[in-house]
Amino acid sequence: MRYLPLTNDDRQAMLAKIGVRHIDDLFRDVPKGDLNPEIDLPRHQSEMSVERQLSRMAAKNISAGSVPFFVGAGAYKHHVPATVDHMIQRGEFLTAYTPYQPEIAQGTLQYLFEFQTLVAQLTGMDVANASMYDGSTATAEAVMMARRATRKKRAIMAGSLHAHYKAVVETTTQFTDDEIVSLSSSPTDPEAELQAAIDAIDDTTSCVVVQNPGVNGSVLDLTRVAEAAHAHKALLIVVVTEVVSLGLIKSPGEMGADIVVGEGQSIGNGLNFGGPYLGLFATNQKYVRQMPGRLCGKTIDADGNEGFVLTLSTREQHIRREKATSNICTNSGLCSLAFTVHMSLLGEKGLRQLALVNHKRTCELRDALNSIDGVEVLNNTFFNEITVRLSRPAAAVVDTLAADGVLAGVPMSRLYPDDKVDDLLILAATETVTSDDISTLAAKLKEALS
């Protein structure tokens, strides 16, 4: 077996040194009848054979890059520069552990410090942590942090929040006495959706959670939600599932957010069928000690040289145990490196250009769809995603187009099966979408709806 270096001679010599005759003498604490069970699985295989088997499975899937592709709703197909993947595959990054020994982990620690700064800048907040699992679990952590910070337990989730994110918050808090108020989505009227969230805020409210751009793609100014929340000593949590939008849209910090969480997948990370992704978590200085997750901080070494360490760990489970701010341990280290490399390549200039191209493509998509009978674009504002009403159930239309080699988007009913949204379709257009892709989509859609 190619991954196991010990030879049988080695094994015998080592057993002799240990002073036992058989390997099972070392497993003597396992109950006798339970040792060495029959395991009905195939034997080991060569690299070539495994590659063949897995490639066959992979070939059964339609990859985003192989077809006109408009699927978004919280995960986005972007071009990732070759440099990013090359850098994250360097063994010194890939095969390192969490940087508990800072003298030999300054590579990881410095990029985490850079990552934290980049996330703080993009979100317009003071500080960011070294990442969470993904945007949805970051949102649940933010709701619990708001409870700690305000000592109140009523959390309001606006209709604009992705259904999975709502579900994760509800699941995660189901055994606490938090009260989660989940407002229904109204994709046709995002302003009303926002007003409903504002109206729900009262003095018992710990936080109001708003997604921007919303799940239907609409972009809103959240300043008045922030004002309403702060008037009741509640926190505004802003969720950003498309972080490229921050290159073009005013930051949540500028709009008055107290906590910003997000899905960082769009920068540097592939679609990966939903994971691994990258949870972003940023807040203001006064809440630092309430934050979940790892933080990297600057310090000096014994010779006075600047360096970095993991810090404020007295918030964390390995020190505080049952009194920790979160149970999180492993986070998304390598995904945060991919983000940092991609952001370093883009810079502010490249990010803004990228955001503009995304928006422009989506304007083209809107115009193309508006010209089709049986399609009504619902958005007045958007970044790179829009919701349309179709004259037929969206799920069936999506299946028809998929069979015809076009991945047309996400039927709203897949996210909100209990709402009456069968005719709504969410479509995203990033820089990877071409004019030809849009024409193809329009033609196929016209055909399917006629």
Partner 1 sequence: MSMNSQGRPTMPTPSNDTSEMEPVFQSFSGHRGLRLAEPLIFELGTCHTTGVDVEDAGDFELSIGDVERTAEIGCPGLSEPDAVRHFTRLSRRNYGIDMGVFPLGSCTMKHNPRLNEKMARLPGFGDIHPLQPVSSVQGALELMDELSHWITTLTGMPAVALSPKAGAHGELCGVMAIRAALEARGDAREVVLCPESAHGTNPATAAFCGYKVKSIPAQDNGRVDLQALKEALDDTVAAVMITNPNTCGLFESEIKEIADAIHQAGAFFYCDGANFNAIMGKARPGDLGVDAMHLNLHKTFSTPHGGGGPGSGPVVFSEALKDFAPMPYVVKEGDAFTLVEDGDTKSLGRLTAYHGQMGMYVRALSYMLSHGADGIKQAAEDAVLNANYVLASLSDVMSASFEGPCMHEALFDDRFLKDTGVTTLDFAKAMIDEGYHPMTMYFPLVVHGAMLVEPTETESKYNMDQFIRSMRGLAEEAREGKVARFEGAPYFAPWKRLDETQAARQPVLRHPVAEAAE
CB of 232 to partner 1, least distance (A): 24
CB of 205 to partner 1, least distance (A): 21
CB of 230 to partner 1, least distance (A): 19
CB of 263 to partner 1, least distance (A): 8
Residue 285 or residue 450: which is nearer to partner 1 going by CB?
A: 285
CA dist., res. 294 & res. 316, Å (int): 8
CB of 362 to partner 1, least distance (A): 8
CB of 443 to partner 1, least distance (A): 19
Residue 187 or residue 247: which is nearer to partner 1 going by CB?
A: 247
Residue 407 or residue 448: which is nearer to partner 1 going by CB?
A: 407
CA 219 to chain centre: 19
**Best CA proximity match to 363, nearest among 219, 265, 251, 247:** 219
CA dist., res. 310 & res. 123, Å (int): 22
Structure-block tokens of residue 15 = 């057993």
Residue 47 or residue 373: which is nearer to partner 1 going by CB?
A: 47
Residue 232 or residue 334: which is nearer to partner 1 going by CB?
A: 334
Residue 232 or residue 297: which is nearer to partner 1 going by CB?
A: 297
CB of 412 to partner 1, least distance (A): 11
Q: For 110, how many CA atoms within 13 A lie in the half-sphere containing its CB? A: 9
The DSSP element (H or E) to which 123 belongs, if any, is helix 106-123
Contact status, residue 146 vs residue 281, Cβ threshold 8 Å = no
Residue 229 or residue 261: which is nearer to partner 1 going by CB?
A: 261
Contact status, residue 386 vs residue 272, Cβ threshold 8 Å = no
Q: What SS3 state is found at 239? A: strand
Q: What SS3 state is found at 272? A: helix
Residue 47: partners with Cβ closer than 8 Å, 6 or more residues away: 2
* 182: exposed, middle or buried (Cβ count in 10 Å: 0-12, 13-18, 19+): middle
CA dist., res. 243 & res. 131, Å (int): 14
CB of 10 to partner 1, least distance (A): 4
Structure-block tokens of residue 400 = 């028809």
Contact status, residue 80 vs residue 269, Cβ threshold 8 Å = yes
Residue 165 or residue 203: which is nearer to partner 1 going by CB?
A: 165
Structure-block tokens of residue 349 = 């200039």
* 73: exposed, middle or buried (Cβ count in 10 Å: 0-12, 13-18, 19+): buried
* 85: exposed, middle or buried (Cβ count in 10 Å: 0-12, 13-18, 19+): middle
CA dist., res. 39 & res. 239, Å (int): 46
CB of 336 to partner 1, least distance (A): 8
CB of 233 to partner 1, least distance (A): 25
Residue 232 or residue 288: which is nearer to partner 1 going by CB?
A: 288
**Cα-trace Rg, the chain:** 25
Count of Cβ atoms closer than 10 Å to residue 134 Cβ: 28
Residue 232 or residue 344: which is nearer to partner 1 going by CB?
A: 344
